[in-house]
Structure 1
Amino acid sequence: MRLFGTGDTAHQTSASSMSYEHPSAPIPVVGPGIGETLRVPIGDTGIEVFPLILGAAEFGWNVDLETSHAILDRYVEFGGNAVHTADGFSGGRSEHIIGQWLRSRRQLRDVVLGVRVGSHADNPGLGATNLVRAVEGSLTRLGVERIDILYLDATLDQSTNLEDTLATAEWLRGAGKINVLGAFRFAPERLVEARILASAGYPRIEVLDEPYNLIRRDAFEGDLRLVAGAQNLAVTPSHALEHGFLSGRHRSKALISQGVRGEQLRERLNRRGIRILRALDQIATDLQAPVAAVSIAWLLAQRTIAAPIVNTFAMQHVEELMQGAGISLTRTQIAELTRAGN
């Protein structure tokens, strides 16, 4: 991410040059800057981020501007440095809110900014014209000159010629508008096609976002994970807490609110979902850590996972989420959680 008129992104010191030792216990939730030295590489891109990326899907929808800024401040205060949004989140309001936050805090030049494009109603899909318009729109709303990781969202567009999309991405990168290319909802075959095109000189897809968590596993575990591993893609899975279900806060169908989100949560309160929550409860008790943090720790223990994308509704939730990056689960604990979801 590069703010208008501020120059290049500040160099990030690699974790290997630090004397900091990764803790085996949860990150303390007392005092600022606890996680500033916790960084993981995003594949071979040279980008390093805190092991949890703050998602902004709720900004401008269920979370107002003031609360959104408080969440962002808290995340950075505890060492976070990566924010993820999309042109389709709240019709672009999420990007506006982040842009206002960036402009009001000029010192945050080293925030890694990931943006998913292709789902905005005005510029849907991954065709050349819409892709350029989508990136320009996101840059304007965010008030930045460059997007660090541009995720190509294939949800609405599985038919556009991938060669045309990558050629457009090549132009965008040459113009300094994007840095690294990522993919969202790409089938394994499409990733293989993209790698073949990359060998012919087109930009390489280096980051993959596929919804993945303890309860939503089928789409990723299989060919997609094999391809991601073979291509050394950095996987930054979204929906890390399954709309909040894996935080352990929603356990009664009667107490869950109405609407789309409520229906999603109620669907998870079945035998399998309750079995997973019980396994999380036991390990959370053993570790004296929040259930949400244990859910994040399980994700980080999975091969190919670099940093989950996690959305939150409240500032007080940020601290417990970030503890997940400081928990080292034993092999037995990982196996128990995995087995509970089978």
Structure 2
Amino acid sequence: MATKVGGETGKHPVDTSKKHILEAVDKSLKHLQTDYIDLYYTHFDDEKTPVEETLEAYNEIIKAGKVRYIAASNISPERLEASFAASEKYNLPKYQALQPHYNLVEREGYESNYAALAENYELTVFPYWSLASGFLTGKYRSEEDLNKSVRGDSVKKYLDQKGLAVLKALDQVSNKHNTSQATVSLAWLMAQPHIGAPIASATSEKQLKTIFEAPKLTLDKEDLDALDQASK
């Protein structure tokens, strides 16, 4: 079981202070009706609380048995490295996992700024928005398609030369393996270094099956090369 602390811009104040974390974890335990949380994420970083203060809070709730491991989501590379340095210096808990924005049409941010950190600190990576708000399912291919769901505005930016090239490559690979574009997209993520599992949601049994098929699909070098070339 995993959940987050630190707030989300526009919904809750971003706060990674010790006081906030100690209060928030008890609320989460009550809300989730559980005795402990397996993986507790720093959702957003307020970038003003000293990283050692945040880690001290985690140390306290881990010792209390409320949390088993900690992870990071929207934290800058600099603050993430500072957190590992503080963990080492003060013998505090270390982040075990990373949840970045990463998929076939959003590669630059993670690969340029976080992939080396995942390698260096042996982080397990759980990418969010793995299907780019549904774009990588192949559902949206024109301006007219944007009206198919409330997510249309979110995927409009992908309807460019690169995005359409990715869809073309997904079509080719999915036809080759007699599967869906979404399954191929998730399988591509799972083939990347340090990926534990992509995060994807389902609103129907059909979509759930698409997710379940991804771990069973092994993409060969030809598949990976085609997807890499289209998405870079």
TM tier, shorter chain?
over 0.9
Query: Shift of residue 162 of structure 1?
Result: 0.7
Q: In 1, distance between residues paired with 2:145 and 2:191? A: 32
Q: Which of 72, 76, 81 is matched with 1:192 structurally?
A: 81
RMSD: 1.7
Asked if structure 2 preserves the Cα contact closer than 8 Å seen for 1:125 and 1:153, the reply is no
> Does the CA-based 8 Å contact 2:38-2:69 persist in structure 1?
yes
Which residues in structure 2 correspond to 1:176-255 (within 5 Å)? 176-199=65-88, 200-255=90-145
Partner of 2:5: 117
Q: Deviations over 1:263-305 (max 9, x none)?
A: 1111111111111001000000000011100000100111111
CA distance, structure 2, for counterparts of residue 122 and residue 167 of structure 1: 22
Distance 1:316 1:258 in 2: 17
Does 1:336 pair with 2:226?
yes
Can you list the C-alpha shifts for 1:9-62, whole angstroms capped at 9, x where unaligned?
Answer: xxxxxxxxxxxxxxxxxxxxxxxxxxxxxxxxxxxxxxxxxxxxxxxxxxxxxx
Alignment gaps of 5+ in structure 2: none
The Cα shift of 1:223 comes to 3.4
The 5 Å alignment of 1:1-342 reads 113-119=1-7, 121=11, 124-154=14-44, 157-199=46-88, 200-257=90-147, 261-342=151-232
Q: How far 1:190 moved relative to its partner?
A: 1.7
Structure-2 separation of matches of 1:297 and 1:315:
19
Aligned partner of residue 282 in structure 1, secondary structure: helix
Deviations 1:163-193 (A, max 9, x none): 1000000011111111110000122222221
Q: Which whole-Å CA distance do the structure 2 matches of 1:248 and 1:220 have between them?
A: 23
Q: TM-score, normalised by structure 1?
A: 0.64
Q: Identical aligned pairs, as a percentage? A: 29
User: Which sections of structure 1, spanning at least 5 residues, go unmatched?
Assistant: 1-112
For the residues of structure 2 that align with 1:207 and 1:127, how far apart are their CA atoms?
Answer: 20
Task: Give the drift of 1:147.
Answer: 0.7
In terms of mean alpha carbon deviation, does 184-193 or 232-241 score higher? 184-193
Contact persistence 2:6–2:15 (CA under 8 A)? yes
How far the C-alpha of 1:122 sits from its partner, in A, is 5.2
AA in 2 matched with 1:169: Y
Give the length in aligned residue pairs: 229
Contact 2:184 2:217 survives alignment (8 Å): yes
Q: Distance in 1 between matches of 2:137 and 2:22?
A: 37
Aligned partner of residue 303 in structure 1, secondary structure: coil
CA distance in 2, matches of 1:255, 1:213: 21
Deviation at 1:252, TM superposition (A): 2.7
More helix by share: 2
Query: Displacement, 1:251?
Result: 1.9
Residues in 2 aligned to 1:258 and 1:334: alpha-carbon distance in whole angstroms: 30
1:116 and 1:153 in contact (8 A); partners too: yes
